[in-house]
Chains A and B, each alone.
Chain A
Amino acid sequence: MSKTIPTRAKVRVSIVIALLGTIAAVLAVSGNGIRTAGPVLVAIQPLPEDGEMCPLISTSAESSLFASMLQERSSREAMPSDSARAEVTRRKPVRMIRDPYLAYSAVAVDVAHNEVVMADENLFSIVAYNRLENTPAAAKMSEPKRMIQGMNTELEFECSLYVDPENGDIYAVNNDTLGKLVVFSRQARGDAAPDRSLDTPMGTYGIAIDEKNQEMMLTVQNDAAVVSFRKGAKGQDSPLRTLQGPQTLLADPHGIALDPGAGLLFVSNWGSVNEHRKPASGPVLGSLGRGVGRSNWPIGMPHAVPGSGKFMPPSITVYARSSSGDTAPLRVIQGPKTQLNWPTALAFDPERGELYVANDPADSVLVFKADASGDVAPIRVLRGPKTQIKNPTSVNLDLKNDELWVANFGNHTATVYKRSANGDTPPLRVIRSAPIGAPTPMMGNPNVLAYDSKREELLVAN
């Protein structure tokens, strides 16, 4: 069975500098001393300081590295004492890199109750504010009206949200660490258990709900799929249908939005994919062992075809609402004119016939006509220092109040604009969870570390 490792959401490699003084990294040190006690640097040979890769690798470089590792003693020594081991076990860290503030990953407006709801991937919470909250520049932050947080909530790396326009229920999708979609009533607060939860495929990301047909659609990164459930699905319920296969052109799908009038589904794709092929015989297994005994479950990683991996340009693929199986998109928005760059979330405006795209690393929101196809430029681009948009991971539309909301994972804010905002337009309002200018480590499941001994930096993949 395939073992897939949960990650969080915001994946980028962050490098945190380590100011280490003057001692060169031991891996860049040559030495031939033999010691019977603690380590010693016999000779120091710092790496070049220019920061560029050396194109020619001398044999002596490997020899020096090898020699540096020969220093000191072997560990063929007695087990340390129990007291010494206990002291180490209880040892506290000397440093901890951690963001103490909420980092908004998703936003949804509750028009009926005049509130806005945010998911926070840093402290694992859902928070609600008054819709018109506007953090004063002099304020440290805005305090939420309600916060859902704690072990009972089953919240972790919640990457997308939906608020039921009728009753204010909050739907929150966990990406891949807990494998659940959780639903809370709008009265929930504190360490409340969700009213219901649904076990979801590994790597579920985006959510769109079709109120007319009472269905919800979810994107699945790991299986390059879209799964559709009854809106009220819970527990081990099976999908109603699954869209998956090479003809779909789904490739690391993230955002999803519905055009209810035209019955169309829009999906944003980052572009990396491999093929999962249904076995000729035997059971169809889901990724990470999920989906056992459930019908319409996406074909999982155990059925990945070796060597089928592809890098494709980012795209938005468009399907009929009820598409299933290995169905080709009706059209594709893709190409350099589109400016798509890790298109992470989508929102559809049925009144204006426009599609909004959170374009994470480009610090922009792109707007396309609903019928856009091929290599087309967006009709509007919201971007620039005045916008305060930084690593947007969610967009949401408030049609009643003619507003666009953006969750900015990169600067502790959610920002609000007129729906038609374009260019470098300042927000109408800002909700901020940290002091202005507070550093943003942007850590979300720091799964991996490496140490760059040349630059004395920690590399952290999130």
Chain B
Amino acid sequence: MADGNAQATRQIGGQKSMITRTIHDMAYNPIRDEIVIPQYFAQAVMTYRGGANGEESPIRLIHGPDTQLTNPQRVALDAVHKEVFVPLEDRVLVFPSEAEGNVAPIRVLKGPDTLLGADALTVDPVHDLLIVAGPRPKGKVEAGASGEASGQVLIFNRTDSGNVKPRSVIAGPKTKITRPWLMANYPPRELFILTVTSVERNSPTDFVGVWSEHDSGDVPPRWTIGGPNQLLRQVRGIALIPQRKEVVVSDKYVNAVMTYHFPEIF
């Protein structure tokens, strides 16, 4: 397993890759063996071969005015139901995995009842849940609450569309969710994992939190890695390696990728 000052085994980049310097999320589809990357500036969702290497072009693009894509930063896959989810702050767009070109989304989750804030999301295809993290709507933060109450997690039915209420809302001071960043989930245990960062650079309170998909309300995370005063300082990405019972976390300030043995959640 890569460790220390490791050399990358391959790189995807260069002009033909159509990648830009602003990749804020990425997903791997184990069924189709594909990598999906949102393209922020060109307003596209790009799909690559799983084994892509070097200056390799995407094999598919979702791109064009009918897509409703506006500077997509995050993406999530449902490999079972063959769908791509794109959170766009006040809405979530859903496309078929095989969508290509200037196609309209097949579902749009949007409206005041949704309570979105959609910055990051993950899909549990087994329990048919769409889990969305982002800022709480204005007026929803408790009077006198600190920044720890400024973020939230919303749980919807996977196929929800339009202006629907979430099944549950996880928010409040006990959650310590300030700025939710990226998510993963582990369906066998009905858990989701969220990286939580603060607005501060080099913040000793950044952490990775684990909640149950059944949680609701002002619920503290069941488990946390990092914070306070642990190694994480500006936590960013998250990936799970179930067969090794490991959670991989990236940190901007440490400028590193760290792997934690975390059997408790697998």
Would A18 and B21 count as touching, CB distance under 8 A?
no
Would A447 and B237 count as touching, CB distance under 8 A?
yes
Encoded as 1 (CB less than 8 Å from any B CB) or 0, chain A from 248 to 277 comes to 000110000000000000000011111000
Contacts of B119 in A (CB 8 A): 3
Would A13 and B261 count as touching, CB distance under 8 A?
no
Contacts of B226 in A (CB 8 A): 89
Question: Once bound together, how far apart are the Cα atoms of A98 and B259, in whole Å?
Answer: 12
Contacts of B113 in A (CB 8 A): none
Q: Would A62 and B2 be within 8 Å (CB), given that A178-B201, A272-B41 are in contact?
A: no
Encoded as 1 (CB less than 8 Å from any A CB) or 0, chain B from 131 to 161 comes to 0000100000000000000000000000000
Would B27 and A450 count as touching, CB distance under 8 A?
yes
- Interface status of A431 (Cβ within 8 A of chain B): no
Would A446 and B39 count as touching, CB distance under 8 A?
no
Would B19 and A12 count as touching, CB distance under 8 A?
yes
Tally the A-B contacts, defined by beta carbons under 8 Å: 379
Would A26 and B242 count as touching, CB distance under 8 A?
yes
Q: Determine which of B21, B65, B212 lies in contact with A221 in the assembled complex, contact meaning CB atoms within 8 Å.
A: B21
Residue on B nearest A156 in the bound complex, by CB? B201
25 A-B contacts, Cβ less than 8 Å apart? A12-B13, A13-B12, A16-B9, A25-B30, A28-B30, A39-B266, A53-B49, A53-B51, A69-B126, A75-B189, A89-B223, A89-B226, A94-B246, A96-B259, A98-B256, A122-B255, A272-B20, A274-B70, A304-B71, A311-B44, A441-B7, A445-B236, A450-B27, A453-B28, A458-B248
Contacts of A462 in B (CB 8 A): 23
- Interface status of B238 (Cβ within 8 A of chain A): yes
Chain B proximity of A397: nearest CB distance (Å): 24
Question: Once bound together, how far apart are the Cα atoms of A178 and B27, in whole Å?
Answer: 27
- Interface status of A448 (Cβ within 8 A of chain B): yes
Encoded as 1 (CB less than 8 Å from any A CB) or 0, chain B from 1 to 22 comes to 1111111111111110111111
Identify the B interface with A (CB < 8 A): 1-15, 17-28, 30-35, 37, 39-44, 49-51, 55, 59, 63-71, 73, 79-82, 89, 119, 125-126, 135, 181-182, 187-191, 201-202, 207, 212-214, 222-227, 230-231, 236-246, 248-264, 266
- Interface status of A88 (Cβ within 8 A of chain B): yes
Question: Once bound together, how far apart are the Cα atoms of A433 and B201, in whole Å?
Answer: 26
Would A5 and B73 count as touching, CB distance under 8 A?
yes
Would B13 and A11 count as touching, CB distance under 8 A?
yes
- Chain A binding surface SS class: loop
- Interface status of A298 (Cβ within 8 A of chain B): no
Contacts of A123 in B (CB 8 A): 255
- Interface status of A460 (Cβ within 8 A of chain B): yes
Would B266 and A448 count as touching, CB distance under 8 A?
no
Q: Determine which of A53, A251, A309 lies in contact with B63 in the assembled complex, contact meaning CB atoms within 8 Å.
A: A309
Contacts of B32 in A (CB 8 A): 53-54, 57
Which residues of A in the span 85-114 have a Cβ within 8 Å of any Cβ on B?
85, 88-101
Contacts of A452 in B (CB 8 A): 28, 35, 50
Would B236 and A439 count as touching, CB distance under 8 A?
no
Contacts of B12 in A (CB 8 A): 12-13, 15
Question: Once bound together, how far apart are the Cα atoms of A28 and B4, in whole Å?
Answer: 28
Would B250 and A446 count as touching, CB distance under 8 A?
yes
Contacts of B225 in A (CB 8 A): 88-89, 91
Contacts of A308 in B (CB 8 A): 43, 65
Would A97 and B256 count as touching, CB distance under 8 A?
yes
Would A20 and B243 count as touching, CB distance under 8 A?
yes
- Interface status of A340 (Cβ within 8 A of chain B): yes
